C-alpha cells in the first residue's frame, strides 16, 4: 500500500474515533466533482433498522484534503450545529423509527434523512429541535 492509502485509512479511523457511534457503521463515499475536486459524503448506517443517512459532506482538492476537512468538522460539529430528532417510517413498513441528526436547520436535517433515497418512500411524523445540553 502506498503512503497515500495509509494516510487515507488513518484519517478515516480518526474520524470514526471522534464520532464514537458505537456499532453504527460509517461509510466514506468519494466522488469526483465537475471541477476536478473530490466530494466526500460520510454516511452512517443504523444497525437496528439498516437505513443509511448522510452525516456530512465536504469538498477537497483530493481525498486527503476532503478527509482533513471532515476531521475538522467532526471535532467541532456538536458545538456548531443544532440537534434534531426525526420520527419517521418507510411507506411500505409502518414501524415508527426515531433518528437523530446534527444540522444547521430543519431542512438540512431532513435532507440528511432523505440522502440516497426517494423522499416519497419515507413518511416524516415529526421533526423536533432538541434542547441544548
CA distance 37 to 31: 8
Q: Which domains does the chain have, with CATH numbers?
A: 1-80 (3.30.160.20), 81-133 (3.10.20)
Beta bridge partners of 43: 27, 54
pLDDT of residue 115: 95
CA 48, 53, 55, 61 torsion-angle sign: positive
Pick out the chain residues at pLDDT < 50.
Answer: none
* pLDDT at res. 1: 52
Task: With CA atoms as reference, report the closest residue to 39 among 7, 61, 14, 9.
Answer: 61
Q: What is the pTM of this model?
A: 0.88
Per-residue pLDDT of 67-86, as tens digits, reads 999 999 999 888 889 999 99
Amino acid at each position: 500500500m502506498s503512503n497515500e492509502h495509509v494516510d487515507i485509512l488513518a484519517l478515516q479511523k480518526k474520524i470514526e474515533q471522534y464520532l464514537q457511534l458505537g456499532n453504527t457503521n460509517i461509510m466514506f463515499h468519494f466522488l469526483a466533482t465537475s471541477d476536478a475536486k473530490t466530494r466526500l459524503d460520510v454516511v452512517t448506517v443504523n444497525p437496528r433498522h439498516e437505513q443509511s443517512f448522510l452525516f456530512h459532506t465536504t469538498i477537497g482538492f483530493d481525498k486527503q484534503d476532503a478527509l482533513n476537512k471532515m476531521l475538522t468538522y467532526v471535532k467541532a460539529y456538536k458545538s456548531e450545529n443544532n440537534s434534531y430528532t426525526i420520527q419517521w417510517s418507510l411507506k411500505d413498513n409502518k414501524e415508527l423509527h426515531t433518528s437523530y441528526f446534527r444540522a444547521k436547520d430543519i431542512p438540512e436535517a431532513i435532507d440528511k434523512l432523505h440522502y440516497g433515497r426517494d423522499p416519497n418512500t419515507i413518511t416524516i411524523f415529526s421533526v423536533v429541535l432538541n434542547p441544548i445540553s
